Amino acid sequence: MSNRVYNFAAGPATIAVPVLEKAQQELLCHGADGMSVMEMSHRSGMYLAIYERAEALLRELMAIPENYTVLFLQGGASMQFAQVPMNLMTVTGTADYIDSGNFAKNAIKEAQRYGKVNVVGSTADIAYSRIPEISGVNDEADYLHFTTNNTIFGTHFWQLPQTKAPLVTDMSSSILSKPYDVSKYAMIYAGAQKNIGPAGVCVVIIRNDMLEREPMAFTPTMLKYQTMAKAGSMYNTPPTFGIYMAMLTFEWLKELGGLEVMEKMNREKAAVLYDYLDSQSYYIAPVEKDSRSMMNVTFVTGDKDLDKKFAADAAKAGLVNLAGHRLVGGMRASIYNAMPKAGIEKLVGFMDDFAKANPKA
């Protein structure tokens, strides 16, 4: 423990220490099963118990209604950029998309391969510094797709887009950070490597009427939601250890008190950093206040050389992976559920010391 750093990476991201410790204890032999989870047949009773507990805990934490199916898939959230339209853009062949950041843009580009995409909002012209205003929504679209939290640019949808079309969202970097009313969404998907566990799992929560839509004729069998739903996510071998790690994370969240408690902790953590940013002039926070994410906080000094020095010096101080995404530069602190408040307090202290030691020209 003494040599662990504070890891501010956007993903794969820091994992809660109690989760890692439990996995360490069970790595060689899981309970009385006589083997590691990594060695278990995915169709064995011992593994099915793990899978079923993972699903049950997620349903409990997120209050997922009975008319939704939960899937644990492979391919990450980026696979969903194609899988969503192939399965769901099949009634009118049209869908609305909101361009709020890089991953949203990638989802749009992929969806355009399968049908007509109507971009109903974008802030690309202002470097995605706020959530877009929405206009020209098609209430008859097969769905409206948006990215709940924009990891690279540090923005978040605090209000749902207004449409009669089913809402589909990429919730990768904010799932489990606070309660969400699942019933407001037709589908939620999320890569695991930010708030759920290690990379390799993509959680899909899909309303059953959407699941009944007939996929496009050329959709590969493996990419049909119906295929995976009928097989309980086990048409082929699922990412067994990743699902086990997700289960441990869900247990940890439940022991903390659930998502209401987690949201309170996250708001307090984010406030430490944002309050500091708003109290000084050395660092600039580019995101408009009403669009700020409490998972990914971006900031710059205004000097690219200073930004690089900041990230390098921070790493030497045990604050790692603070360099911003290669597309935007600057700095980014990803402060997901597993990041302790102490890590953010240490970061703020370092930021203050760095500003005093490195005056701008």
- The pLDDT value recorded for residue 116 is 98
205-238 burial, b if ≥16 CB within 10 A, otherwise e? bbbeebbebebbeebeeebbbbbbbeebbbeeeb
Give yes or no: residues 31 and 151 share one domain: yes
Does some domain include residue 5? no
Please count the structural domains in the chain.
2
Q: How many helices (H) and strands (E) does the chain have?
A: 10, 13
Give yes or no: residues 189 and 63 share one domain: yes
- The pLDDT value recorded for residue 332 is 98
Handedness of CA 209, 186, 266, 127 (dihedral sign): positive
- The pLDDT value recorded for residue 132 is 97
| Residues 76, 48: Cα–Cα separation, whole Å | 22
Give yes or no: residues 220 and 287 share one domain: no
Does some domain include residue 351? yes
pLDDT tens, N- to C-terminus, the chain (361 residues): 568 999 999 999 999 999 999 999 999 999 999 999 999 999 999 999 999 999 999 999 999 999 999 999 999 999 999 999 999 999 999 999 999 999 999 999 999 999 999 999 999 999 999 999 999 999 999 999 999 999 999 999 999 999 999 999 999 999 999 999 999 999 999 999 999 999 999 999 999 999 999 999 999 999 999 999 999 999 999 999 999 999 999 999 999 999 999 999 999 999 999 999 999 999 999 999 999 999 999 999 999 999 999 999 999 999 999 999 988 899 999 999 999 999 999 999 999 999 999 998 7
Does some domain include residue 49? yes
Q: Give the domain-ending residue among 256, 278, 311.
A: 256
Look at phi and psi of residue 14 and say left if phi exceeds 0, alpha if psi is from -120 to 50, else beta: beta
Give yes or no: residues 105 and 187 share one domain: yes
DSSP code for 133: P
- The pLDDT value recorded for residue 38 is 97
- The pLDDT value recorded for residue 259 is 98
Does some domain include residue 3? no
Q: Give the domain-ending residue among 256, 287, 321.
A: 256
Give yes or no: residues 201 and 262 share one domain: no
Q: For the chain, how far is it from start to end, CA to CA, in angstroms?
A: 40
Does some domain include residue 146? yes
- The pLDDT value recorded for residue 72 is 98
Give yes or no: residues 150 and 266 share one domain: no
| Residues 324, 352: Cα–Cα separation, whole Å | 19
| pTM summary value | 0.97
